[in-house]
Chains A and B, each alone.
Chain A
Amino acid sequence: MEKYYGFGLPVDISTHGAEIDRLIYVIHIFMAVLFMGWLAFLVLTLVKFRARPGHEARHHVEHFKAPTYLEVFVALFEVVLLVGFAFPAFHKTRDVFPNRADALEVRIVAEQFAWNVHYPGADGIFGKTDPKLMGAANPVGLDLGDPLAKDDVTTINQFHVPVNQPVIARLSSKDVIHSFGIPVMRVKQDVVPGQTISSWFEAKKTGNFEIACAQLCGLGHYRMRGFFIVDSEADFKTWLDQMAPKPPAPPATAATTPQGAAA
């Protein structure tokens, strides 16, 4: 996993990552140029106007036009950043959702301190869930009495997706505010209890990446690490089939917890 991360931005495997990265680069170049120029002027001024014998201060200093032009330029640049970069990029991630038919839909239920992932299974429909049924063996509270729930797959911290397919994640929390973050996907969405917030993204490379919680959620916030695994289409299908409950389902136990579930 380490080769995806280092100093600077993590690798970008998201279809909307380029726009976000472009905005980050453009604004930092702007900041650096502005700051370096400004700093150079500061140092020049401090040296040129240091107190020394024979050097008096001027009471009347002419009004400078350059700073006004600079301020207008900064204001205009901010408009460009907003309208040309920021608004379109945010709009794409928040408003332009893929068709449900084309996307993989999952539910992700955050809790202290794990990410419970819920796939609808072959029928494409999520089975009913109920907070009263939530427990260690049934983290999403799946109601196994519901026939639509029979093919649902749930995992703890194992979030598999197929490459090159949009994913719609319906995010909710059991207890406190968490934040669903996948750095390599440039995805971050606060997960607020009492609401289901949808987030969509599409991975364009396979690999094993990680999910990080990005909102203080208690003692285990630092170890709320999930695994984001981008499979090829074939591998994903294999994995999902492997995870599906095998008929006849033994009574009373919920979906098996997969191997390697993190603490």
Chain B
Amino acid sequence: MSHGEHSRELPFWRKYIFSLDHKVIGAQYAVTGLLFLLFGFCLMMLMRWQLAYPGQPLPWLGGLFNEQSMVGGIMLPEFYNQLGAMHGTIMVFLGVVPLAVGGFGNFVVPLQIGAPDMAFPKLNMMSYWVYFIGGVVMFASFFVPAGAAQSGWTSYAPLSDIASFGQTMWLFGMVFLITSSLLGSVNFIVTIVQLRAQGLTFFRLPFFVWAQFVTAFLLLLAFPPLEAAAVLQLMDRLAGTSFFLPTGLVVSGKLLEVSGGGNPLLWQHLFWFLAHPEVYVLILPAMGIVAEIIACNTRKPLYGYKSMVYSVIFIGFMSFVVWAHHMFLTGMGTKMSAFFQVTTMIISIPSIIILTALLLSLWGGSIRFNTPMLFATAFLPMFGIGGLTGLPLGLAAADIHLHDTYYVIGHFHYVVAPGTLFALFAGVYHWFPKVTGRKMSEVLGKIHFWLSFPLINGIFMPMFIMGLAGVSRRLYDPTQYAHAQPTQPLNVVISICAWLLGLAQIPFIINFFGSLFFGKKVGQNPWQATTLEWSAPSPPPHGNFETVPVVYRAPYEYSVPGEKEDFIPQTERK
């Protein structure tokens, strides 16, 4: 059923609000995702005040918060715990994944495979609005009595079972977000399998599409157990069941009047069964973006494309069998922990292969250091640090000392923050011209990069030191433990870097909105790239391509000997 003919007659609200066009939906996801990233970042900046100067009143902003959160500008433990839980939840589920998958995936994938749109445009639109509702529910949870969820983004039971109403809102919010994700992942899989242009075989796909393809399977199959877990926790909280509550619980001196017989570890198994694949959902699209930008800006094909594809598929499978490495210290025996240690070590191999292939892709190139390339190149060592620091955590004996310390926070932030987030920034700078028909300012972009790169390392590198010293995570006031006191000055350094990093995003925000109106206008292919999206106008019209694309070539035909240009688009006949 073609809807292309009708686009001229569509009213504003159907063209831009409830659009069925993957490009509009992608832009909606991207902008909403970026806003939530900013919001999540602000939550963290508040936390950093309490961590650097525990018990000190927050200057200027302290008065904005009511007695539930701050008394005389001094943060309360309950508010700190809310900030912690919601920072994680918002960054992962409302920020990174919607931007990486909903934003970049939706906009770029149909174009890169030569399709007029996603397979199910109505489903696509629904998935965005269900995400939006989930976001509203999560945001609103801050304003209910006793505030938002405060049991960590991991919501371990029984703490989460007995927590205040904000936790119930978190659960409902998650149900919406999971539903949105499911709708989206079905769309991606069907689109990539069925709607590739003629001649675009699987091994001619840009690596970005492969990454999104595997990501979609992870979302499809890993999220339902968390949905089940959310249902069980809602039953515990609203229907009086005891799925996660054992018999004989005594809370604040009173015996809990529940049936008992439940198991707190059941929550952990169900949660981590999703949450481990979820971290690969966070990294795979980023690897895809970096791959595209490296190929384009080195003017040569990716090294080891086939190995990268097999590795990303293998990561997809392996990611389902490592989850209990988050649970090594829950009373697990040596046999079960041995299994998960082995699978965790095994999954490091394909990640190393992909990282090495990306690194070797630079060799022999002619490297253009524009803003997207700066961020994409920085991704490599940052992801390297993140990945390497996962090794001590993946070994149960070392995990005895490092579990639930700042080492863990350092590890995963290195992967998501200077890792994925840098890749997402790179993607914004790279595809902005395709979306808007204008380029972003290189000057502002380079300022953004050169400020962000050292500052983000200043935030997360000290955390490894704190973790090795044994400092626990999720501490409202880190100075109460003797073992945490020597490293307290690091908290001040981290906080200052975090606030400066916040300021360093201002050039990006100015660049993003300013370039929409004042950016230099560009044509179809400003980067001289080979993949199909650059054969469409900038921005592409409804239906994307003026003529139906046919693909004749591999995705990275750069610097082919004997050719006039240093790139050959995939649609050019042989």
Contact = CB atoms under 8 A, between A and B. Distances in A.
12 contacts: A2-B485, A4-B483, A6-B486, A51-B366, A58-B300, A61-B300, A175-B158, A184-B483, A194-B262, A212-B483, A216-B152, A223-B480
Nearest to B368: A51
Among B299, B331, B398, B561, the one with the most A-chain Cβ atoms within 10 Å of its Cβ is B398
B472 A111 contact: no
Contact of B264 (A35, A177, A181): A177
Interface stretch (A67-75, A158-166, A231-239, A250-258): A67-75
Contact of A10 (B77, B152, B470, B560): B470
Contacts of A67: 356, 360
Given A45-B363, A64-B360, A216 B81 contact: yes
Interface in A95-119: 95, 111-112
B43 interface: no
A261 to B, nearest CB: 15
B507 to A, nearest CB: 23
A136 B252 CA distance: 9
A20 interface: yes
A225 B480 contact: yes
Interface in B55-86: 77-78, 81
B162 A176 contact: yes
Given A71-B356, A74-B352, A59 B389 contact: no
Contact of A1 (B369, B398, B482): B482
Contacts of B330: 190, 192
A188 B400 contact: yes
A20 B397 contact: yes
B401 A24 contact: yes
B313 interface: no
A177 B403 CA distance: 14
Interface stretch (A78-86, A143-151, A241-249): A78-86
Interface residues of B, number: 99
Contacts of A81: 345, 391, 395
Interface in A1-33: 1-2, 4-10, 19-20, 23-24, 27-28, 31
Given A41-B359, A57-B365, A90-B334, A2 B486 contact: yes
Contacts of B477: 222-223
Contacts of B405: 214
A35 B388 contact: yes
A89 interface: yes
B415 to A, nearest CB: 14
A225 B481 contact: yes
A89 B469 CA distance: 20
Nearest to B369: A50
Given A27-B391, A81-B395, A176-B159, A49 B559 contact: no
Contacts of B476: 219, 221-222
A10 B264 contact: no
Given A216-B474, A225-B480, A186 B401 contact: yes
Contacts of A45: 359, 362-363
A103 B64 CA distance: 56
Nearest to B563: A59
A66 to B, nearest CB: 10
Contacts of B480: 222-223, 225
Contacts of B337: 90, 94
Given A45-B359, A45-B362, A51-B367, A216 B159 contact: yes
Interface in B383-400: 384-385, 388-389, 391-392, 395-398, 400
A4 to B, nearest CB: 8
B469 A5 contact: yes
A85 B397 contact: yes
B265 interface: yes
A256 B303 CA distance: 71
Contacts of B253: 134-136
Contact of B481 (A7, A38, A132, A212): A212
A34 interface: yes
A71 B472 contact: no
B401 A188 contact: yes
A216 B560 contact: no
A78 B404 CA distance: 23
Given A174-B250, A215-B156, A87 B400 contact: no
A192 B473 CA distance: 18
Contact of B255 (A28, A71, A132): A132
Contacts of B341: 82, 86-87
B43 to A, nearest CB: 16
Contacts of A187: 400
A45 to B, nearest CB: 5
Nearest to A20: B397
B331 A192 contact: yes
A125 interface: no
A93 B397 contact: yes
A85 to B, nearest CB: 7
Interface in A207-222: 210, 212-222
Interface string B445-489: 000000000000000000001001110111111101111111100
Contact of A86 (B298, B367, B398): B398
A183 to B, nearest CB: 4
A217 B475 CA distance: 10
B396 A86 contact: yes
Given A7-B469, A7-B486, A189 B331 contact: yes
Contact of A59 (B158, B360, B392, B559): B559
A259 interface: no
Nearest to A62: B364
A9 to B, nearest CB: 6
Contact of A58 (B353, B364, B367): B364
A181 B397 contact: no
B510 interface: no
A192 B265 contact: yes
Interface stretch (B92-100, B184-192, B241-249, B493-501): B241-249
A75 B478 contact: no
A23 B398 contact: yes
B468 A71 contact: no
B364 A61 contact: yes
Contacts of B474: 216, 221
Given A95-B334, A217-B159, A78 B345 contact: yes
Contacts of A184: 483
Contact of B472 (A9, A85, A181): A181
A56 B366 contact: yes
Contacts of B486: 2, 5-7
A13 to B, nearest CB: 13
A79 B473 CA distance: 30
